[in-house]
Amino acid sequence: MSLSAKMIAGWVGFALNVLIGIYLIFGAFLVYPRRRITIWSARHFRPMLANIYWSILFVLIERNLQLFGGVLGYFNIGFAGGWIISNIFSLTFFALYLKRAWLLHFDYNAGLALFIQKTNLQVASDFEVHFRWFLENKGHYGSPRYLYRFTIAVCVILNLILIGWVEVSQDSFEYGLVAIYCLLMIIAMGTTKKITHMEDNFFIREEILWQFRTLALYFFIAGGLIIFAPAMGFEWCKFFLVEFSCICVGIMGYFATYWVKYQATKYALEKPNSQLYDLELIFTSNDNCALFLKHLVREMSVENMFFLADVMAYKKAFLDHRKLFRQIPGFTCKVPLQLSRYKYLKDRTFVHYSWSISKIYIDGSSIFYVTSISDETRKSILDFVENLSPFMEGDNEDKVDYEKLCTIFDEACNEVYGVLKGAYSRFTKTSEFNNVVIEKISVEMTEVASQQQQNILPTRSP
């Protein structure tokens, strides 16, 4: 590479990297105000945002370090140093996207498993075993906290192996990368196969598919560039690797932000639909409720319905077992209590009961972690529950604020109920809403429903 060509290529690459970084920053600002809308929160907003943030660091810091050190030659990072820095950023980038794809896959299957369990739907025995696995392993393989720790541990181990390899034998490491890229390409393609089994109403499947197709293409091209590096020159190879990877990162960021925002606007998912019927009427029929639950499975927010059911069962227990109130204080709704997963036990206290609900739905250690409540509400619940003692309902019942204990989840319920109203609004735009049967509806409302369903979401096959 001549000096002039080297300088021109390096600075053009730097300008392109800065533009891609700015593009990703605007994408993050685009989605952040929507973090509490189901269309974002149900997609694991925080892991998605972590992917964008890491992409920005990857493009603006690591990729530019490679340009200024390996192409422009302003400083010498050396062969080993360059690959060590590259591996740390690249592996972490890949692991973050893979983790989020797994979370979405696990969420969808766990929600579907719970839907099958609660509706007593008959499935083949092999499918039953498959879905039971997702419910039995929700505390580990479906927990965002566990997966973060697991991802960090795997990244550290793999980076230590690669650092040792590049220090021991640079020649074998360089060509061994071709095998590594082939392996990563197979993993990316395998991930797309798993994602194709999802059926969602939020374009999550298409987003993930395009992202991992982009990754597979990058690993394929990168392996080819390394193979032909001696012929084209190692400096040109490094330049093309750096810039092509930045373009791929920008494409993946586009699908996570701008593309999904465009799809949501196109199908008016973020705009509240005129309520054809009251959401509470859906709760009065088991068939209608099952249809709505199926829709929530596709929105990956079915945990919202079960959270409301468990909280209402919890609040009703204050009336049924302690006769503490004449009517349920605070928030109430008509969600079917048979959807609740936990019940009041005589040998346990209401403090234990509240602990169970917060552990499953609030603190983030379960796959049924409710993503649609605000951080302030979540913190207030966890702080309150953490200070409770299970023995305070024994000899010191006069010191127990039962009304506060009964209403501790009310703010979260209000937020979740608002999310369910939005989900119901989107449900009215789907073809499945034609199967909803509610008595005493007017002909005019039926005509409105038919008109609005002309512009439903595109049908997807699993």
Domain boundaries, the chain: 3-266, 279-455
Instruction: Indicate if 279-455 has the same CATH topology as 3-266.
Output: no
Determine the Cα–Cα distance for residues 313 and 88; give it in Å rounded to an integer. 48
Determine the Cα–Cα distance for residues 130 and 101; give it in Å rounded to an integer. 18
Mean pLDDT of the chain: 79
Determine the Cα–Cα distance for residues 100 and 144; give it in Å rounded to an integer. 9
Q: Residue 181: which region, alpha, beta or left (left: phi > 0; alpha: psi -120 to 50)?
A: alpha
Q: How do residues 268-296 score in pLDDT, each as one tens digit?
A: 666 655 555 678 878 888 888 888 888 88
* DSSP for residue 441: -
Determine the Cα–Cα distance for residues 321 and 333; give it in Å rounded to an integer. 20
Q: How do residues 335-379 score in pLDDT, each as one tens digit?
A: 888 888 777 666 677 778 888 888 888 886 666 778 788 888 888
Predicted TM-score of the model (pTM): 0.76
Which pair of tokens denotes residue 153? 């541990």
Which pair of tokens denotes residue 427? 């449900």
Average pLDDT score over residue span 124-143: 74
Secondary element (H or E) of residue 282 = helix 279-283
- Alpha helices by DSSP H, 69-201: 78-119, 125-136, 144-168, 170-195
Note the CATH number of domain 3-266: 1.20.1070
Q: What percent of the chain has pLDDT over 70?
A: 82
Residue 78 has pLDDT above 80, yes or no: no
Q: How do residues 21-47 score in pLDDT, each as one tens digit?
A: 999 999 999 888 877 666 666 667 888
CATH topology assigned to domain 279-455: Regulator of G-protein Signalling 4; domain 2 (1.10.167)
Average pLDDT score over residue span 43-55: 86
